[in-house]
Amino acid sequence: MAFTAGGRRQIAPAQRLTDFVEGDLSTSLNDTSYQPGLKSAPLHSLFPNFIGSRLRKGFTAFDQKMRGFYTEEANIIGVESRTSSPVNIPRNERLEHPEIHNLFPCGEGGGYAGGIISAAMDGERCAEASIIGL
Ligand SMILES: Cc1cc2nc3c(=O)[nH]c(=O)nc-3n(C[C@H](O)[C@H](O)[C@H](O)COP(=O)(O)OP(=O)(O)OC[C@H]3O[C@@H](n4cnc5c(N)ncnc54)[C@H](O)[C@@H]3O)c2cc1C
């Protein structure tokens, strides 16, 4: 749905934060560093209610703790809809594929990390394993 709302290209659907909370389509958006660009879209209607209503409450509640957080100067962009790779390439205790010599599956694509830090740490271990062995 988000892909369609963005025009079925790399352009991301976006909405001003205040419009998301109010349930209004944004007539204009703030500048962005996201290079493919933004397209105004009713993100508030893309999420299931149990997610959208909690985000709405959360955005306004957070403003009580951090004044200025809830502002029309903020865009919300796209929806984060994926999780880590569901693929898990096997590897042995030396971090090498059990059947393919010198193949060291690592990081997210290999199924051994779920974010930036875990991918970096796993990559470092695999680099060491491939050079000096474990
Ligand atoms: C939109 C988005 C938001 C995210 N937000 C967060 C976040 O807030 N916090 C967090 O912790 N994680 C976040 N992640 C996840 C995080 O980015 C990844 O888990 C992490 O980057 C995986 O690192 P990696 O080194 O395993 O793989 P990647 O960073 O994907 O690196 C793989 C590299 O291999 C290259 N490559 C692929 N095929 C070949 C080939 N045949 N030859 C040579 N090179 C090749 C690719 O070009 C790429 O550079 C986010 C991911 C996305 C997509």
Distance (Å) from CA 115 to ligand 1 centroid: 8
The rounded distance, in Å, linking the Cα atoms of 116 and 133 is: 24
Question: What percent of the chain lies above the pLDDT cut of 70?
Answer: 97
The domain spans of the chain are: 2-77, 84-134
Contact 11, 38 (CB under 8 A): yes
pLDDT of 84 above 80: no
Q: Which residue shows structure tokens 């560093």? A: 33
Residue 75 phi, psi dihedral angles, 5° rounding? -100, 145
Task: For ligand 1, say whether the CB of 109 is within 6 Å of any of its atoms.
Answer: yes
Distance (Å) from CA 108 to ligand 1 centroid: 7
Of 116, 121, 124, 126, the residue with max ligand 1 atoms within 8 A of its CB, to mutate for a pocket test, comes to: 116
Task: For ligand 1, say whether the CB of 107 is within 6 Å of any of its atoms.
Answer: yes
Residue 62 phi, psi dihedral angles, 5° rounding? -65, -30
pLDDT (tens digit per residue) in 11-55: 999 999 999 999 999 999 999 999 999 999 999 999 889 989 999
The rounded distance, in Å, linking the Cα atoms of 98 and 132 is: 18
pLDDT (tens digit per residue) in 103-114: 999 999 999 998
Task: Please tell me whether the overall predicted TM-score, pTM, comes out greater than 0.75 for this model.
Answer: no
